[in-house]
Structure 1
Amino acid sequence: MPLLILKSKCTMNPRPLGDHIIVKSISAEETSQAGIIIPDTVSKERSERGEVIAVGPGKMMENGQRNVMEVKIGDKVIFKKYAPDEVKVGDEEYLVIRMEDVMAILED
């Protein structure tokens, strides 16, 4: 999966288009059977969880209206493991996913 790098000296806020969602990956530490904590950096699998940073306006339908986006900024979501594209804006790394790849919203 390619990594898109956008370099700029100024602070930029990514604004997704259509049904795209920008998320910040949430690392999930695991504990082995022996009680050893295995940090996410050891795992070869990408996190399936993230916090929503920005939400597009929704996919344009044939009738000219937009699909409703079911997530909002600040939501913690579970998404398909291999769905996201990695994007780096300045020093920050984000994942870009589509609404259809979101499987659940984590609620407190």
Structure 2
Amino acid sequence: MDVLDWLARWYEAQCDGVWEHRFGPSISTIDNPGWSLKIDLVGTDCDGRTLDPITHNRGHPTDWWTCWTKDNVFEGAGGPLHLRSLLEAFRDWATNVR
């Protein structure tokens, strides 16, 4: 399944009439240039899980991405061609529930 379709299904599965009013994923741009991804984990299967920072840097100023958790939020940032990398990192992490 495409990662964007997976994220849409993951989001839909979290929606219970309350959760989506306070929490959810957020995708925005950063000025490096690049992308920022934040996904609230409260009330999800990933609630309380942590991820130590993982970083991929391929040597070019825009060819990088990194992900981590902080304050029960999955966060990621990356260069302009790495939105998919951030989404795939979340999917890989979220589906590896311990």
Please give the TM-score of this superposition, normalised by the length of structure 2.
Answer: 0.29
More helix by share: 2
Pair member with larger Rg: 1
More strand by share: 1
Q: Which has the higher contact order (CA 8 A, sep 6+)?
A: 1
Please give the TM-score of this superposition, normalised by the length of structure 1.
Answer: 0.27
